[in-house]
Amino acid sequence: MEITVDEWIVHFISWSQKREVAVKFLEKIHQKCDKLVTMRGKALDEKIWNMAKSSQSWDIGSRRLVKWFMGEFRNNPNKFRVFEELNMGQLPADLEREIPEDDLYLIKTALCTSDHLIVTTDGRLKDKLSGRSELIIRLVDEFLETYISQTPKI
């Protein structure tokens, strides 16, 4: 499964209150051989690199988590797929008009995957896209509850 996530993953790794959930999610991705996906140079990609830089001043455990995330996920093409915008097609005009510009990269990215899945904390985005049959939109809490509890296929 290829999972398009927005910036929540960076916030979950960065915030001590959400870190445990982030680790469980990332461990499950590892177990299931799934991937995170994004578009190069967009909001999530930028926040990941900013987190990597700023984590140098964090406590040792947090720095280790970021280092693990960067090595096992962001810099690992088997766990993290990065699309180039130049290689993506155009979105339907109605989507371009209805969706905030800073969220369009999520839709373009998800449509480049076989799963067409976006996991987000943005309830308004989910509401706007709920009628679109070509996309699957899940809010983080509902998705993680199911995803983390799944037994990997053997």
- The pLDDT, as a whole number, for residue 96 is 85
Question: In this structure, are residues 13 and 20 in contact, taking their beta carbons and an 8 Å threshold?
Answer: no
The yes-or-no verdict on residue 56 having pLDDT over 70 is: yes
Q: Is 42:105 a contact under the CB 8 Å cutoff?
A: yes
**What's at 136, amino acid-wise?**
I
H or E element in which residue 98 lies: helix 93-98
Is 153's pLDDT higher than 70? Answer: no
Residue 16 has pLDDT above 70, yes or no: yes
Give the Å distances, CA to CA, from 5 to 43, 57, 113, 140: 11, 26, 12, 9
Per-residue pLDDT reduced to its tens digit, 100-127: 889 999 999 999 999 999 999 999 999 9
Can you list the domains of the chain with their CATH numbers? 2-149 (3.40.50.1010)
CB 4 within 8 A of CB 110: yes
**CA–CA distance, 17 with 102 (Å, rounded to integer):** 26
Mean pLDDT of 121-150: 91
